[in-house]
Amino acid sequence: MTASPRPTSSRALARAVAPLAALSAIAVMLAGCGPDPALSEPTTVPTASAAPSTPSDGESPDPSATPTGSSHDGGMEADLADAMSSGNTAPIEGYLTEPTRVVIAASEADMQYSAVDAVLALDYVQPGVGTWDFALPSDVIDAYRGSEFYGDFFPDDVIVGRSDSGAVVAFLPNGALIGTIFMAIDESLITG
């Protein structure tokens, strides 16, 4: 007597076909994820011109030191103040060293971050929330300098802003760029 094949239940068949159906569905979805050739930029090969260009009268041959998209004439302090006031902190990245030291008062946070991550760390003091004042009176900054723990973060060339919520941010230059960002959620952490 030969064994006859058992009838296959629909449940067993579904279990056997399910992985293949899932793989097919994933393949179809991934096929739609490729770049759209109509949206890609055409590639062109640059060619050399016959004669080198020279700056016209009154035009500087040096590249501009002003960051693009700035609403000021290259004033770093004004650009930093605008970025913190508006909450659009992306332009700050162009002013930061690689890496940038980020210090947060009353915490163990004292880390080296990439410029991008240092900008993201500014969320701690809530840029764009409330009013930011970067024209603090010298006696306020002197009080910050008098801090036993944080006075070193307020050298003469520091750029300091305070929010009406009490948060403080200090940008410490390192040459032409900002090398350290110091933040306190409230100025009472600095002054005591």
pLDDT at 109 over 50: yes
Alpha carbon distance 192, 144 (integer Å)? 9
148 touches 189 (CB < 8 A): no
- pLDDT of amino acid 192: 81
Q: Collapse the DSSP code of 143 into the 3-class scheme (helix H, G, I; strand E, B; otherwise coil) and give the result.
A: helix
| pTM for the structure as a whole | 0.63
Question: At residue 179, does pLDDT exceed 70?
Answer: yes
pLDDT digits (tens, 9 = 90+) for 54-75: 344 443 333 333 333 333 345 9
Query: 9-58 pLDDT, tens per residue?
Result: 556 545 554 554 554 545 444 445 444 444 444 444 444 444 443 344 44
Q: How many CB atoms lie within 10 A of CB 112?
A: 13
Type and span of the H or E element at 191: helix 188-191
Mean pLDDT along residues 118-126: 97
CATH fold, domain 76-191, is Nuclear Transport Factor 2; Chain: A, (3.10.450)
The domain spans of the chain are: 76-191
Confidence of residue 110 (pLDDT cuts 50, 70, 90): very high
% of the chain surpassing 90 pLDDT = 60
Distance CA 131, CA 84 (A): 9
